[in-house]
Amino acid sequence: MSDAALLSLEAVSKDYSSPAGPLRVLHGVSFSVAAGETVAVTGPSGSGKSTLLGLMAGLEQPDAGKILHRGRWLGGLSEDGLAAWRRTKVGFVFQSHRLIAPLSALENVMLPLELSGASVEEAGRRALEALAALGLSARADHRPHQLSGGEQQRVAIARAYVHAPE
């Protein structure tokens, strides 16, 4: 795999426990993604798509193989280092949105910026821009339960890209 790749997986495998014994979800997966490249992960339900994305985002660790970001092995990072990597390099939109209920749409989008050290003013400005880009300016002060499912999804998208992940 090329060190120039934005993200590389080398012979990655992942197993889960089940009542019937170990369940191999991924086995020996290898590929690279270049910066700016678009990749679609497709397959039937239960084929390992979410597991693969979780591994690529550093939310899970492989049982075998390596995941590298720009040639740097993610398995060598501490938990704090991995969290910092996710905060600055990864944008992830979960199927269930995972918005924080007591926070407004604006506050949900501001959160990753504030966690990365941005001032409240800077975080607010950038979060408002992200919400506006997705047609949600008028809904910025609404809590997740006050938003439709589609609006919640767009807030989650804004939160994922507001910090300009790679």
Read out DSSP for 90-137?
A: -----TT----TTS-HHHHHHHHHHHTT--HHHHHHHHHHHHHHTT-G
What CA–CA distance (Å, rounded) separates 19 from 2? Answer: 39
Average pLDDT of span 102-120: 95
Query: What is the C-alpha separation between 110 and 112, in angstroms, rounded?
Result: 6
34-49 pLDDT, tens digit each: 998 989 999 999 899 9
pLDDT of 77: 93
* Per-residue pLDDT tens digits for 95-107: 788 999 999 999 9
- Assess whether pLDDT exceeds 90 at residue 90: no
Question: What value does the mean pLDDT take over residues 6-33?
Answer: 95
Q: Comparing 97 with 82, which gets the higher pLDDT?
A: 82
Q: Tell me the one-letter amino acid at 22.
A: P
Q: Do the beta carbons of residue 5 and residue 66 sit within 8 Å?
A: no
* pLDDT at 55 exceeding the cut of 80: yes
Residue extents of the structural domains in the chain: 7-89, 105-161
The per-residue pLDDT for 93 is: 85
Distances (CA, A) of 151 to 11, 35, 39, 159: 38, 29, 25, 12
Q: What percent of the chain has pLDDT over 70?
A: 98
pLDDT of residue 92: 82
Cβ distance 67 to 7 under 8 Å? yes
3-state secondary structure of 44: coil
Indicate whether 2 pLDDT > 60: no
How close are the terminal C-alpha atoms of the chain, in Å? 19
**What is the CATH architecture of 7-89?**
3-Layer(aba) Sandwich (3.40)
What pLDDT is stored for residue 13 in this prediction? 98
Please say if the pLDDT value at position 165 is more than 90.
no
Residue 121, classed as helix, strand or coil, is: helix
Residue 4 has pLDDT above 80, yes or no: no
Cα separation, 72 vs 60, in Å, equals 17
Specify which residues 14 forms β-bridges with: 26
